[in-house]
Amino acid sequence: MKSISRPVSILRILGCTALFVLAACSPKEDRRVSGRLVLEYWEKWTGFERDAMARVVDDFNDSQDRIFVRFLSVSRIDQKMMLATAGGVPPDVAGLWAINLPSYAENNALMPMDRLVRDSGIREEDYLPVFWKLCRYRNFLWALPSTPSVTALHWNKKMFREAGLDPEQPPRTIAELESFNEKLTRKNADGSLAQIGHMPQEPGWWMHDFPSWFGGASWDGGTQLLLDAAPNRHFFAWLESYPKRFGGPAMYQLRGAFGNFASPDNPFFNGKVGMIMQGVWMNNFIKNYAPAGFEYGVAAFPEETEHPGAPMTVAETDILVIPAGAHHPKEAMEFIAFVERQKNMENLCLGQRKISPLRRVSSEFVKNHSHPYLRTFLQLANSPRAQPTLALPTFKEYANDLTTYVNLVLLGRMPAEQARGEMLGRQQKALDAKLSRWNQVAPVRVSRWEAEIQP
C-alpha cells in the first residue's frame, strides 16, 4: 500500500475542513422530497394545539403534489425567528403572536403580504374586523390570523351562591366587581386571606390591556403613551385600592399557595379566587382539571362605566407570517391561504378549542365545539367595541416594566401615582428611541414595501 506523507495528510485534512465550511456557507438550494418543494413551517404550539395544526398540515400535503410542508414545533419562537432571520435562514412560514408584529415589521423581518393575500382571493371582509386590524401595522398587512382569542370574565357560581350572590348575575361595572369582591372574600382567624373574590394579578396576563376597561388605551398608536390620561390614572388607582382593602402581603401570601395553572390546584378551580379574566381556552383546562360538577359562567369583563348594548373585550390572535428572506413566498402564501379556508380554519380552531377569526361560522363548528359559552365569546369577538390588544413596538419592555410597577403597587410598596409617573418616564423614552430608529429607515423601507405590494 502506498504510504502518504504526514504533511500531505495534514493538508488533506485541512482541505476537507475548508470544503466542509464552504459547503455549509453556500447558498441554500431548494429542498425537495419526491420532487415536491419543501416548505419549512415553524410554530409555537405543543400538545393538542400542535396536533390540531399538524392535521391541517397533513391535509394540505395530501391536497396537492407540488409542495410539502414540514411542520416544526419551536419553543421561544419569537427569539428564534429573530435570530434565524438575522442569520439569513428563516423558515418559509412562521406562527407568531400579533403583539410581535410591530417590532418585526419595523425591523424589516417580515414580508408585507398585501399583494400575496389579494392575489390569493382572500378579502378583509372575510374576517372579524378586530382580528384583521391585529394583522396590520403602519398601513401594511403583515400576517393572517390563525387561532384568535378574546378575554372575558369567568366566575365561580358555587362561590357566588355561598356568598349570597345570584350565580347568574355577573358584575357589570368595576364598582360592582369590587362590591362582589368584598362579599366573596373570606379571611382566616389569623387575618390572612382564605379566598378572594378577584385579584388583578390572577392571572395578570392582560395587565397592559386593563386601561381599555377604564375607557381608554395605553398608547395613541403614534408617538405618545397615554399613561397620563384619565383611564390609566383610574386603572392605577384601582390597583392601589387592593392593598388598602385586602393587604398587599396578604394577597401575595394567598397567591403563593396557588398551584400551577394547568392543575387541579388552579385557584379558580379550587375556590381560592372567585372571578378571573380568561380566554376561550379556559374551558379546556376546566374540563381537564376542575372538580366534577364545577359550575362557572362567562360574560364580558365589567367596565368602569356601564355601556348597555355592545360588550367590550380585548382581542388577540396567533398569526401566520412570511419572514423577510423566505425563499418561497408564493408557495408559503398558498399554504397560508389553505389554512385560512373556512373548513380548515374551523378544524384548526375546533382542535385547539378556540373561536374562529372568520366572519362566517358554520353551524357544524358551533355544534361540534365543546365550549358551553362559545356564543358569548363569538358575540364578544363580533362586538363593534372589541379592541385589539396593545401592539406597541416596545411591547416587551413595556409589559416587563408594567409587571414590576403593578406588583409594587399591589404590594403597597409604591404609591400608584409614583409608579405611573416612573413608568411613563421610562417607557416614553424607550418608545422615543425606537421611533427615532424607525424614522431613520422609514422612507427607504416604506417605499420598498410599497413596491413589493404593487400588483
The footprint of another protein (CB under 8 A) covers 6-7, 10, 13-14, 79, 82-83, 85-86, 103-104, 107-109, 249, 252-257, 394, 396-397, 400, 403-404, 407-408, 411, 413, 426, 430, 433, 437, 440-441
- Written as one letter, the residue type at 118 is R
If we measure between CA atoms, which residue out of 211, 204, 103 comes closest to residue 430? 103
Identity of the residue, 255 or 354, whose beta carbon is nearer to another protein in the bound complex: 255
Closer of 120 and 403 to another protein (Cβ): 403
Question: What cell numbers appear for 119 in the block?
Answer: 392575489
Decide: 384 and 310 in contact? Cβ < 8 Å.
yes
Residue number with CB closer to another protein (27 or 256)? 256
CB 109, min distance to another protein, A: 5
- Are the C-beta atoms of residues 249 and 255 closer than 8 Å to each other? no
Quote the DSSP letter at residue 84.
Answer: H
Nearest approach in angstroms of CB 397 to another protein is 5
Q: Quick one: 274 or 393, whose CB is closer to another protein? A: 393
State how far the Cα of 104 lies from the Cα of 87, in Å rounded to an integer.
15
**Least distance in Å: CB of 404 to another protein?**
6
The residue count of the chain comes to: 455
Look up residue 146 and give its DSSP letter: E
String of DSSP letters for 103-145: HHHHTT-B---HHHHHHTT--GGGB-HHHHHHTEETTEE--EE
Q: Which is nearer to another protein, 319 or 381 (CB)?
A: 319
**Helical H runs in 216-355?**
230-246, 248-256, 282-289, 329-340, 342-351
Find the shortest distance in angstroms from Cβ 82 to another protein.
6
Asked whether the CA dihedral 94, 98, 99, 105 is positive or negative, the reply is positive
Residue 63 Cβ, how far from another protein at the closest point, in Å? 34
**What is the C-alpha to C-alpha distance for residues 178 and 184, in angstroms, rounded to an integer?**
10
Of 264, 76, 39, 43, residue with least CA distance to 146: 43
Nearer to another protein, 201 or 284 (CB): 201
If the CB atoms of residues 19 and 175 are measured against another protein, the closer one turns out to be 19
164 vs 256, beta carbon nearer another protein = 256
Smallest Cα–Cα separation from 353: which of 49, 120, 113, 26?
49
> Least separation, in Å, of the C-beta of 35 and another protein?
34
Coil, helix or strand at residue 299: strand
Residue 321's DSSP bridge partners are 94
Q: What's the min distance (Å) between Cβ of 197 and another protein?
A: 19
Place of cell 396557588: 258
**Please, what is the minimum distance in Å from the beta carbon of residue 81 to another protein?**
10
